[in-house]
Structures are given as structure tokens and as C-alpha cells.
Amino acid sequence: MKNITRREFLKASGIGIAILGTGGEASFAAATKGRRVVVIGGGWGGATAAKYIRLADPSIEVTLLEPSKEFISCPFSNLVLSGVESLKRLTMGYNGLRKHGVKIRHEAATAIEPDKRRVKVGNDYLEYDRLVVSPGIDFQWDQVEGLDKAKDTVLHAWKAGAQTVKLAQQLQSMKDGGVFVMTVPPVAYRCPPGPYERACQVAWYLKTKKPRSKLIVLDANKDIVSKTGLFKTVFKDYPNLEYRPSNKAEKIDVGSREITTEPGDKVKYDVINLIPPQRAAAIAVEADLVGGDKRWCEVDHVTYESVKQKNIHVIGDSTIGLPVPKSGNIANAMGKICAVAVVHLLSDKEAPVIAPGNTCYSWVNDKEAIAVVNSYKIENRKVVQIEQKLTPGKSVAVAQNSLAWRASIWSDILG
């Protein structure tokens, strides 16, 4: 798997090289002088897009709107729960983007006005020629009865940050012999293998630190939705892990510490990690970027331009219509591909056809990981999967590869 991982990562990194070779400063500078691009969201997709637009053509003015002053990586944050990783090591600044000339405002975009080509920020407006929207996900609190009122105390920890640390503290303070319950939302949701990696980290922690305790995983889906065979094999390492498919969370009662599932089971817990159903972030919904499913934004697979609103591109976890996972690597790839499309379109040129790639690691204990690599192509302006490769099983080597991979991709996004 080491050679596969390195080869596929180099291929993914080559997307950036391809972008810089599709036109360059000399081709676009005259045509795009004074053009303005606004990017909403400074995560894996938005930060990448902002950087690569400037790399492709420094004459384009790029403003990034991101309320957080620090970038915190969701990938690898499950390891914080088990104490294998610290949140501090997953936290980075945005100064690298500033060195590329990206203007950063640590404010939230509050509205998009497509007809006027402008974004509202507080009482101010930013006009754009092209807008890149990468706002991530929001939660559908109303899909679980009682959750809306309890959302401040029932932790999801599905956006890395303060909740990640709080959930780790709850796990660590749980009595030996206690029951930790976590839920998996129905697809589609951010990071398909993420809940199962989290289950492994929690189960490993309980096995080593609280051996009389138990983890119950309530999955809304009929089966493990990513790296299925690999996770099923790993779950056998944890007799303290009880996996229940087709058990969508329907109701939570924090007073009685009880969660009710769709089949009618009532499950008691000492600590609950309820990951709610998800959809595109509110700003995308309010700007009429969401498709017929009322959850995700449909885009052109070559340019990532919205099929509903011209001059607006949507990348990252808010998108649908692509046979790709909502992963950090995919968001990063989308950011690069979208960047070159934006530069071309601003010059009235046709965007080149570039397919994304995906590499995803999942740590299954404190030292070992599993991984998947997906290859894609563009066929009739649609993304089509060519191949999927999985590691034979868990290994220390895969885990070590993941650390090299994350250092490289974080540098690619923010460096």
C-alpha cells in the first residue's frame, strides 16, 4: 500500500502542477486585471481555491471570508478523543495564504445576492466577478426529536474544535463500566468513514483504559458505508464494541439519558455522541444553490459552477452530484480544479477538464491505520470512478504514511 499511496498522492498533487501549467500569469494577466473573486469558507476547499487562484494569476483580487482565525483539521481529529493526538497539532494559521496575496477577512458571510453579484458581510457588501462557496455543512437538528433543545449539551464533535476537546473529556471522565453511545447519520454526510474511525478510537481507548465499559454504535445506514470489509475486520478486535445497523436515532431524552432508534429500541447511555443528519450550510441554502434533494448543491462537474446560479462555484462538503466522498482530500482537489476554471472563465476561455482524486486514511487504534484510494475520470462532463484500491488490512506503515500525507496536504492548502 505504501507505493500505491505515494503514487496516488503524487498524482493528486499533480493537479496543482496541471493548474499552474494551464495558462499562467502571462496568458491571463491582461484579461483579468482588476477582476475580483470572493471565497466563502477557509476550510480544505475554500483555502485551497483562494491560494491556487492567486498562484494561477496574481492579477486577480481574491478575498477569503472565514470567521475563524485558525484552521483546524477535521481529518485526524478523531484521534484527539483517544488521546493519540492533540487539537493543537491540528491547528494552523492563515499567514501562508496572505503571503500569496490573498486578502483575508475573519468575518462570516451573512448573505449572497446572486443577481447583484455581491456578498453581505455584516453591514458591508463585497462585489465579485466570480464567487467560490465552500461553507461546509450544517446539521438538521429537527431530524431527531429533542435534539434541538439539547444541542448545546449533546455533542456531535463533527466540526473539529471545542466540542472535540469536550467529548474527549467526557470519554475520559466516564466511569469504568459505563456505556458510550454514538450515532451514525444517514448518508450523505461529511467524511463517510469518519464515524467508524471514531468508533475504533473510542473502543481502543475503552479497551485499554476502561476495560469494563462498552461502546454501542447506532448506525442509521444498513451497513458500514465506507471501507466496509476493513472496518468489519477491525471491529472484531473490540469485543466491547456493539455495532447496530439500521438503527437511526429518532429521539433523545437527556433527562433519562436515553436514545430511541427507528426500530423502537431504547438505549441508555452514560456518554452520548450524537452526529446529526446533515445538509449544505445555511448560506448555500438561502442563496438557492441547493438542488432537488433540498440538502446538497448541484454543480457542473468540470467547473464546479452551480447549476442554479451563474458565476457561483460550490466546492467541498456542500456539493452533491459527484460520485466522490465528502472528504478533505476531495475538497482540496475541488479547490484546485475550481481555481483553474475560475481563472479561465474570467478570461472567457473554456475551462480544462481535470478529474479529482481521493486518498483517505482511518486510524483504527493508537498505531495502525487503513486506507482507500479512489481514481476518477471525466466522461461527458460527469465524474466517473475508474478504480478503488484498499489496503489489505491495518498496519503501522499505513498510519505512518498518513502522517507524511497530512503534512504535505496541509502545506498544499495553507503554505
And the C-alpha cell for 387?
A: 478504480
Give CATH for domain 16-138+281-354.
Answer: 3.50.50.60
Phi, psi of 403 (to 5 degrees): -70, -40
CA angle 73, 58, 318 (to 5 degrees): 35
Q: Reply yes or no on whether the pLDDT at 410 is more than 70.
A: yes
Q: Which residue ranges does the chain devote to CATH 3.50.50.60?
A: 16-138+281-354, 140-273
Distance between alpha carbon 184 and the CA centroid of its chain, in Å? 16
% residues pLDDT > 70 (the chain):
92
138-171: pLDDT as tens digits: 999 999 999 999 998 999 999 999 999 999 999 9
CA–CA dist 68, 14 (Å, integer):
29
Question: Which residues 6+ apart lie within 8 Å of 326 measured at CB?
Answer: 137, 188, 189, 190, 191, 192, 316, 317
Superfamily the domain 140-273 falls into: FAD/NAD(P)-binding domain (3.50.50.60)
278-320: pLDDT as tens digits: 999 999 999 999 998 889 999 999 999 999 999 999 999 999 7
Q: Reply yes or no on whether the pLDDT at 7 is more than 60.
A: no
pLDDT of amino acid 376: 96
351-384: pLDDT as tens digits: 999 999 999 999 999 999 999 999 999 999 999 9
* Residue that has been written with the C-alpha cell 446572486 in this structure: 114
